[in-house]
Amino acid sequence: MIEKLREKSQTVLLKPSIRVLYLRKLRDSVKHHREEIISALKEDIGKSDYEGFMTEYATVMQELNFFINNTLKLARTKNASFDLLTFPNKTEIRNRAFGVCLIISPWNYPFNLSMIPVIDAIAAGNSVYLMMSRKNPRIRELMKEVLKPVEDIVHLENDRSYDEVLEEKFDFYFFTGSKNRGQAVYKKAAENLKPCVLELGGKSPCIVDKDVDLEDVAKKICWAKFTNSGQTCVAVDYLVVEESIKDRLLHYILKEIDENYSDISEMSRIKTRAKYDEFRKIMMDRTDRIGGKYHDDEMIIEPCVFTDVTFNDEIMKDEIFGPLLPVISYTDIDAMLMHIRRMDNPLAFYVFTKDKKLCDYITNSVGFGGGCINDCMMHISNNKAPFGGFGNSGLGHYHGKWGFDTFSHKQSVYVSRKIDNPFRFKPFTDKKLNLMKKFLG
């Protein structure tokens, strides 16, 4: 199977116009299965129709439309800028596909996080070996139908385990998921000396200064924390609030939860019983809990806020990945930033403030994948900008043009014409040397 896919990349997909035809077929198929996709997301995860459409279907369509309109332009060979050492000849920059890309996607956004890297890889001329999480049987089964028009260049693996698949040799590795499994993929890519992109996660902080519209901040924080019940890699993991406005902000957060995040029919399930039980234990062990009503049969936990957390608490050790929101207050900005820097690099970083100098100081003090100022999660919505991790939260990036570049090897090719630069050939005379010193320093 892998050799057949590699052959497609080396022959059929060499032509960008053919890639666009495949992407058009894929878009038609996604459109045709729209209602089934949204229904499958609800069945597997419990996502509401609105959330499934907005966070999964719509983002995939945006990526497909971008590449259908831009692949031919992105794939063009470009000339490198003028250079005295190579004048009068030219250097071309060509986009070369890697071959067969292994794409491993997670369970939390199974359609979005499978399809977008697949689209990027196809646009760059690669074929794809796709592995989806077994935790979503309905959407995984439906993907067979969605991918049928492109099944000769995209193989959806349904039978083999991760370990079995990783024994194969791929030309590119793309992984979204947990740090532990990501390390295994990275190790295998290193053994095969192949490029690798890792989209992991981490404890993404949200810092709130005192000079902000607290009602607006509360609305944005709740959306970024409780969408998909917090099971989002760029969700707000914890809140760090200037002490003087903490109680007022909590008032608006709890008001927003009560008004817009209390209907369990619109809440995603906690994906595994083990994680559900872990969250219940965390809630039972704390006395500063507000909310967090749980529903054992549905495995749903309503939004829960912990009001008096410190950086040393147990809940601050690992990424939460659920609807639990720790709130930490601060008075000394430098002491607070020191605590954040001691932790692993977060995938996302959010700051609410009207003070530009303070904002620049905060965002320049911490390494992170991407983020927002006076908002949350919206940085991943614009596919004209790169999305990716930093340090422990991942490496590499994708979305739009950045995905095309990630899945393309930039190949430089020097093209010699009839006229050549005489200075590179012997005899090496003093006259030549003095002229080079004059022009090249």
Q: Among residues 206, 233, 372, 376, which one is catalytic?
A: 233
**359 in catalytic set:** no
**101 in catalytic set:** no
Residue of 353, 347, 360 whose CA lies nearest to 374: 353
Q: State the CB neighbour count (10 A cutoff) for residue 314.
A: 10
- In whole angstroms, give the CA distance from residue 320 to residue 346: 12
Under a CB-based contact definition with an 8 Å cutoff, are residues 110 and 397 in contact?
Answer: no
Q: State the CB neighbour count (10 A cutoff) for residue 373.
A: 15
Q: Among residues 199, 242, 302, 319, which one is catalytic?
A: 199
Per residue, the 3-state secondary structure of 220-255, as one string, reads HHHHHHHHHHHCCCCCCCEEEEEHHHHHHHHHHHHH
- In whole angstroms, give the CA distance from residue 339 to residue 332: 11
Under a CB-based contact definition with an 8 Å cutoff, are residues 345 and 368 in contact?
Answer: yes
- In whole angstroms, give the CA distance from residue 177 to residue 108: 9
- In whole angstroms, give the CA distance from residue 238 to residue 310: 11
Residue of 308, 192, 305 whose CA lies nearest to 251: 305
Chain Cα centroid distance, residue 282:
28
Torsion angle defined by CA atoms of residues 253, 254, 260 and 265, in that order, rounded to the nearest 10 degrees: 130
Catalytic residue ranges: 199, 233
